[in-house]
Amino acid sequence: MTTVAAPYAGTALDRVDGPEKVTGRARYAYENLPADLAYAVVVQATVSRGEVRAVDADSVLQLPGMIAAIWHENAPRLAPVEDAELTVLQSPRVAYRGQVVAIVVAETLESATEAARLLRVDYRAEPHDVELRADHPGMYRPDHVNPNYATDSELGDPDTALAFASVVVDATYTTPAQHHNPIEPHATVALWDADGLTLYDATQSASGVRATIAPLFALPPESVRVISPYVGGGFGGKGAPHAQVVLAALAAKQVGRPVKLAATRRQMFAVTGYRTPTVQRVRLGADEDGRLSAIVHEAFEQTATIKEFAEQTTVVTRMMYAAPHRRTSHRLVRLDVPIPTWMRAPGETPGMFALESAMDELAVACGIDPVELRVRNEPTIDPERGLPFSSRNLVACLREGAERFGWAGRDPEPGVRRRGRQLIGTGVASSTYPVYRLPSQASARAEPGGGFTVRIAAADIGTGARTVLTQIAADALRVPPAQVRMEVGDSALPRASVAGGSSGTASWGTAVLRACEALMAALHRRSGDVPPGGLEASADTAEELRSQRPLSRHAYGAQFAEVGVDLDTGEVRVLRLLGAFAAGRIINPKTARSQFIGGMTMGLSMALLEESVMDLEFGDYLNRDLAQYHVAACADVRDVDAFWIEEEDPELNPMGSKGIGEIGIVGTAAAIANAVYHATGIRVRDLPIRLDRLIGGGI
Amino acid sequence: MNGEGNSGPVFADPITADILLSVNGDERPITVDTRETLLDTLREHLDLIGAKKGCDHGQCGACTVLVDGRRVKSCLTLTVTVDDREITTVEGLAADGALHPMQAAFVERDAFQCGYCTPGQLCSAVAMVREVADGWPSAVTADVSGPAVLDDDEIRERMSGNLCRCGAYVNIVAAIKQVGS
Ligand code: FES
Ligand code: FES
């Protein structure tokens, strides 16, 4: 495979949808106003486990403007499907506090909101179990971990290697539950007509929602259309449909009118997914020079009783560093908690916090510079799969990042640098993310009046997909980007894979490129003549993807942090954060930089602020809004920057690109925690790095 | 209406008010539920979808609009309270077709990704630059007696009521600085 020489790919084109977004013309899901619209609001369970005994629907139906109150006894029946998250209002069982037990529909949002508040639901409550502990007796070994990795792995004899290692790090790290909190809440407008069901939905996958929702209503997929041209952030939370999509469709069916439904910010903490909390034990065995002989990484996580999601927290450890003896494992416990799901770099994000913190501890224990330690343990082939890397430039990222950051001459002594009332420290961590590519289809059309239309049911959730696909198409069609009209975000377009796994550009870009090439060939056969009806060609990449040869394909990076820790309050400020990345060819430097620093900003937020606190008494997350679940604000984010090194990798896809949407968050929290250690001498192994963990640690 | 005892809720018709709303220079007579927020009136009744609902609790800033030129969270503003005020939404920042310099700078600096916080950021930024020009101090203004300066720290502090989960802050600060100085 050769990569295509390209004049537009590689240029910093402004976002093609920028003007729509800055003028307020971009229409997001909830902003569709079909005629005769009704408003729905959900009612959530106030017990964590038990049964709904009765719902006093009749009382609220007397409220002015009320149309319906729907619960399990009067809800339309859904076809049984395996995913219990989606079979809403079909049974009296309550599996977690906050689960939807009823939905009210009214003429106005105000009336529906009031009715939802007044609706009386009687429960038979049962004792709940919501606390994740590594020694929970219910811990089990899942069949596989997300998306389809082996649950455990073992090579050599790690126990013996640890017993004989000169230096051993054995530490337990924890990460709390985290909620995606895209600024656009999950929302759906559902509309039934003679053709079937139309859903204006906030989703990362129009094709995926169609395929998932159709069987629930016993419809062929062609009878469901999902429209989502603009999506206000997803971060994995909008990757698969959640209850609100089904609820909107079900309510619209029941009342015979279009229905609008959005999860409120507070409801989102129970019904739209989150990242599981983790308890992780990492053991590293090394010789005095820091060369690893053993790596053991074990993760303990939670899932819901009605659906399993097994985050692949330790999978990243299988390929990061060389060591002859190694073991990774995942154990889960089913609790009476909301359903966890994908959240930006599931697996790598919590896993690399633990592994990269442990590597820093090893560097300290061996008295070796942490950049040097990582370089020393660089593998020549994928250590567990035994495959060559398609390209691996971690060392270049570490070296070049260290150079630009000014790492040289760093005094490793912790707790000795003061600036005013702050202790100053620096830290480093590696980043990585796998290269995924999924089958997709696309079409390209030469319009009779000039210009081209390229169609694919891709999703631009803020990644810049619409823009980079325009660039890819423009190159293939040999025209300026202004002559390409890119249509995405509609299941009526050629079927595309989910905006997930940082796979969008690779998956959709391949399909777009192949469709454009097919169109160019067809035009060539006609000597460039476009018939009056236009000329169209399409492509499906399934075959091309099957022929990809087995290699270990990943993007890499290194993140460097400088922190200041207030001596009096323990407040941590990230003074500088620099990311160095190696991610194949960068198709748009402007949107790519935004992706990298956006991920790093979320990583900073995770390191210092984000924590969903489980209320053991009531059995749900306690801090259910943005005043209590803190995400980084403008004043928290100072000098954050990213750059990338040139990387040619012909074994990826025709663009030569690796995904960049998630790698930015991987390793950030470890780099910051390592910098906090360097500043204060206190090793924080439990995120977030709260003031009390430093004050309590004796700052 | 708290549904106490066995009597069930009390069922009063919603109280409405007829008001004249002035939005982006247009006068719009409208009947509103007195429980209705300005954000919902704009989005649900006037199809002005620029102002976004991120939290409905005054915590994210996505709903920021200008009322008599000052930034206001429209999710915390009841529509009945603004019937004699000038409301400007992101749709009204610039004259027909053109972009306001702040909008153009946001595009140029890639100061957004998903775009959902963006209308709020823009309204907030436009009003904030004016606040600085008018000499209003902020929590990080070192010398409150002299004129306020629009440096990075001031921008970050004054824009911290507008959350961006995509993490576009670095570029937002750059865009505002470009316009404000
Ligand atoms: S919607 Fe008004 S501040 Fe969030
Ligand atoms: S651009 Fe997505 S929240 Fe700011």
Within a domain: A9: no
Are residue A566 and residue A661 in the same domain, yes or no? yes
- Decide if A351 touches B, using CB distance below 8 A: no
- What is the B62 CA–ligand 2 centroid distance (Å)? 9
Shared-domain flag, residues B58 and B110: no
- The number of CA neighbours under 13 Å toward the Cβ of A36 is 9
Taking the CA of residue B58 as reference, the ligand 1 atom at the shortest distance is 3
Ligand 1 mean position, distance from CA B117 (Å): 10
- How remote is the CA of residue B60 from the centroid of ligand 1, in Å? 5
Whose alpha carbon is nearest atom 4 of ligand 2? B164
- SS3 (DSSP) at B43: helix
CA distance B40 to chain A (A): 8
Residue nearest to atom 3 of ligand 2 (CA): B164
Q: Are residues A153 and A199 in the same domain?
A: no
Task: Judge: A31–B53 Cβ closer than 8 Å, yes or no.
Answer: no
Is position B30 within any domain?
yes
**DSSP codes of every residue in A423-480:** EEEEEEEEEEEE------EEEEEE-TTS-EEEE-----SSS-HHHHHHHHHHHHHTS-
d(CA A553, CA A584): 10
> For residues A310 and A145, what is the distance between their CA atoms, to the nearest angstrom?
5
Assigned domain for B163 exists: yes
- Could you tell me the pTM of the whole model? 0.97
Q: For residue A390, is it within any domain?
A: yes
Q: What is the Cα–Cα distance from A35 to A258, expressed in whole angstroms?
A: 8
Which chain B residues have a beta carbon less than 8 Å from that of A63? 9, 11
Structural domain boundaries, residue A597: 144-178+275-435+550-695
| Separation of CA B124 and ligand 2 centre (Å) | 14
Number of independent structural domains in chain B: 2
Shared domain for A487 and A382, answered yes or no, is no
Coil, strand or helix at B165? coil
> Are B159 and B117 members of one domain?
yes
CA B166 to ligand 2: nearest atom = 2
SS3 A416: coil
Runs of H (alpha helix) within A274-347? none
The pLDDT assigned to B95 comes to 83
Q: Is the CB of B51 under 6 A from ligand 2?
A: no
Could you tell me which residues come within 8 angstroms of residue A528 by beta carbon, excluding any fewer than 6 positions away?
none
**Cβ–Cβ of B164/A634 closer than 8 Å?**
yes
Ligand 1 in reach of B75 Cβ (< 6 A): yes
Ligand 2 neighbourhood includes B164 CB (under 6 angstroms): yes
Paired with A382 in beta bridges are none
Residue B9 lies in a domain: no
Is residue B117 located within the same domain as residue B165? yes
Radius of gyration of chain B (CA): 19
Residue that finishes a domain, picked among B92, B113, B129: B92
Q: Are residues B85 and B38 in the same domain?
A: yes
Task: Write down which residue in A490, A513, A546 finishes a domain.
Answer: A546
Q: Is residue B127 part of a domain?
A: yes
Residue B72 contacts A, CB cutoff 8 Å: no
Q: Are residues B127 and B175 in the same domain?
A: yes
The DSSP output letter for A580 is: E
Question: Tens digits of per-residue pLDDT, A129-175?
Answer: 999 999 999 999 999 999 999 999 999 999 999 999 999 999 999 99
Q: What DSSP character marks residue A205? A: -
Which of B92, B125, B157 is the last residue before a domain boundary? B92
- Does the C-beta of B63 come closer than 6 Å to ligand 1? yes
Q: How far is CA A554 from the centre of its chain?
A: 17
Cα A683 to middle of ligand 1, angstroms: 37
Whether B98 has its CB under 8 Å from any CB of chain A: the answer is no
Question: Any CB–CB contact under 8 A between A575 and chain B?
Answer: no
Cα A473 to Cα B167: distance, rounded to the nearest angstrom: 28
CA dihedral sign, ordered B99, B114, A33, A486: positive
Using CB atoms within 10 Å of the CB of residue B108, give its burial: 0 to 12 exposed, 13 to 18 middle, 19+ buried: middle
> What does each C-alpha distance from A233 to A202, A343, A426, A507 come to in angstroms?
9, 12, 31, 20
The verdict on B106 and B176 lying in the same domain is yes
For ligand 1, whether the C-beta of B51 sits within 6 Å is no
Same domain, A443 and A509: yes
**C-alpha distances in Å from residue B80, one per residue of A324, B12, B32:** 71, 19, 7
The residue out of A491, A515, A546 marking a domain boundary is A546
Whether A575 is in a domain gets the answer yes
Q: Give the residue numbers of A annotated as catalytic, written as ranges.
A: 662
Question: Does the pLDDT value for residue A116 go beyond 70?
Answer: yes
Candidate from B14, B40, B107 with C-beta closest to A19: B107
Nearest to A552 by CA among A316, A278, A288: A316
Q: For residues B84 and B109, state if they share a domain.
A: no
Number of domains in chain A: 3
CA distance B91 to A252: 31
Is residue A228 a contact partner of residue A201, using CB atoms and an 8 Å limit? yes
Ordered per-residue pLDDT tens for chain B, 181 residues = 343 444 555 567 889 999 999 999 999 999 999 999 999 999 999 999 999 999 999 999 999 999 999 999 999 999 999 998 999 999 999 987 799 999 999 999 999 999 999 999 999 999 999 999 999 999 999 888 888 889 999 999 999 999 999 999 999 999 999 998 7
Residues A502, A582 share a domain: no
Query: Average pLDDT of A289-305?
Result: 98
Give the other-Cβ count within 10 Å of A124's Cβ: 12
* Same domain assignment for residues A387 and A479: no
Do B88 and B157 share a structural domain? no
Kindly state if the Cβ of A183 falls inside 6 Å of ligand 2.
yes
Residues whose CB falls within 8 Å of the CB of residue A573, separated by 6 or more in sequence, listed in order? A422, A563, A564, A565, A566, A636, A638
Is the pLDDT reported for residue A657 higher than 50? yes
Q: Is residue B3 part of a domain?
A: no
pLDDT in tens, A331-378: 999 999 999 999 999 999 999 999 999 999 999 999 999 999 999 999
Residue that the structure tokens 């890639």 belong to: B110
From CA A692, how far away is CA A632, in angstroms rounded?
A: 19
Q: Touching check for A489 and chain B: CB below 8 Å?
A: no
Q: Which of B55, B107, B116, B162 gets mutated to test ligand 2 (max ligand atoms within 8 A of its CB)?
A: B116
User: Which residues in chain A touch residue B37, judged by CB atoms under 8 angstroms apart?
Assistant: none
- For residue B115 and ligand 2, the question of a CB distance below 6 A is answered with yes
A4 in a domain, yes or no? no
Kindly give, in sequence order, each residue whose CB lies less than 8 Å from that of residue B89, ignoring residues fewer than 6 positions away: A24, B23, B24, B42, B48, B50, B51, B65, B66, B119, B123
Residues A66, A197: one domain? yes
pLDDT exceeds 50 at position A395 = yes
State how far the alpha carbon of A12 is from the alpha carbons of A471, A481, B109, in Å: 10, 12, 11
Question: How many beta-carbon contacts under 8 Å exist across A and B?
Answer: 204
Q: Are residues B25 and B73 in the same domain?
A: yes
A340 and A388 fall within a common domain: yes
Decide: B116 in ligand 1 pocket, CB within 6 A: no
Chain A residues close to B76, C-beta within 8 Å: none
Domain that holds residue B34: 16-92
CB of B72 within 6 A of ligand 1: the answer is no
* C-alpha to C-alpha distance for A68 and A261, rounded to whole angstroms: 14
A428 lies in the same domain as A561 = yes
Q: Is B162 on the interface with A (CB under 8 A)?
A: yes
CA distance B79 to B67: 11
Q: Indicate whether A401 and A528 sit together in one domain.
A: no
CATH for A214 = 3.30.365.10
Planar angle of CA A388, A392, A393, nearest 5 degrees: 160
Please give, rounded to a whole number of angstroms, the shortest distance from the CA of A16 to a CA of chain B: 9
Query: Which residues, in sequence order, are bridge partners of residue A561?
Result: A427, A577
| Cβ atoms of A459 and A503 closer than 8 Å | no
**CA A494, A495, A500, A505 torsion: positive or negative?**
negative
CA of A173 to the centre of ligand 1 (A): 35
A137 part of a folded domain: no
pLDDT number for residue B10: 59
Query: Is the separation of the CB atoms in A273 and A343 below 8 Å?
Result: yes
Query: Chain A: residue nearest B43 by CA?
Result: A31
Chain-chain contact of B169 with A19 (C-beta, under 8 angstroms): no
Q: How confident is the model at residue A296 (pLDDT cuts 50, 70, 90)?
A: very high
Are residue B58 and residue B109 in the same domain, yes or no?
no
Q: Is B112 in the pocket of ligand 2 (CB under 6 A)?
A: yes
Cα–Cα distance, A260 to A563 (Å, whole number): 45
Q: Is residue B1 part of a domain?
A: no
CATH of the domain at B62: 3.10.20.30
Say whether both B87 and B131 belong to one domain. no
> In terms of DSSP bridges, do strands A278-286 and A100-106 run parallel, antiparallel, or are they unpaired?
unpaired
Q: Which DSSP category does A324 fall into?
A: S
Of A59, A265, A637, the CB nearest to B56: A265
How high does pLDDT run on average in chain A? 97
Residue A582 belongs to a domain: yes
Both A108 and A198 in a single domain? Answer: yes
CATH code: domain of residue B145? 1.10.150.120
Radius of gyration of chain A (CA): 26
Q: Can you list the alpha helix ranges (DSSP code H) found in A377-410?
A: 394-405
Which residues of A26-99 form beta strands (DSSP E)? 38-44, 50-55, 66-71, 93-94
Q: What backbone torsions phi and psi does residue B152 show, to the nearest 5 degrees?
A: -60, -45
User: Residues B83, B113: one domain?
Assistant: no
CA pair distance B26, A326, nearest whole angstrom: 69
Residue B112 lies in a domain: yes
Q: Which residue is closest to A462 within chain B, CA to CA?
A: B114
Alpha-carbon torsion, ordered A501, A504, A508, A509, to 10 deg: -120
Q: How far is CA B39 from CA A682, B45, B73, B77, B120, in A?
A: 46, 10, 8, 8, 12
Assigned domain for A217 exists = yes
Q: CB distance from B39 to chain A under 8 Å?
A: no
Q: How far is CA A585 from the centre of its chain?
A: 22
Token pair 């009296």 is found at: A92
Same domain for A189 and A166? no
| Residue B127 at interface with chain A, using a CB cutoff of 8 Å | no
Cα–Cα distances in angstroms (integers) from residue A521 to residues A248, A452, A455, A508, B50, in the given order = 44, 15, 18, 20, 43
pLDDT at A6 over 90: no
Last residue of a domain, one of B92, B111, B144: B92
Q: What atom of ligand 1 comes closest to residue B76's alpha carbon?
A: 2
Tell whether the model's pLDDT for residue A177 goes beyond 90. yes
Cis peptide before A147 (omega within 30 of 0): yes
pLDDT tens figures, A598-635: 999 999 999 999 999 999 999 999 999 999 999 999 99
Q: Do the Cβ atoms of B116 and A182 come closer than 8 Å?
A: yes
Judge: A62–B36 Cβ closer than 8 Å, yes or no.
no
CB contact under 8 A, B49 and A62: no
Q: What is the pLDDT of residue B145?
A: 87
The tokens for B169 are 């802050």
Give the per-residue SS3 of A255-293.
HCCCEEEECCCCCHHHHCCCECCEEEEEEEEECCCCCEE
pLDDT in tens, A190-230: 999 999 999 999 999 999 999 999 999 999 999 999 999 99
Residues 6+ apart with CB under 8 A from B159: A634, A635, B121, B124, B125, B128, B169, B172, B173, B176
Whether the predicted pLDDT of A85 surpasses 70: yes
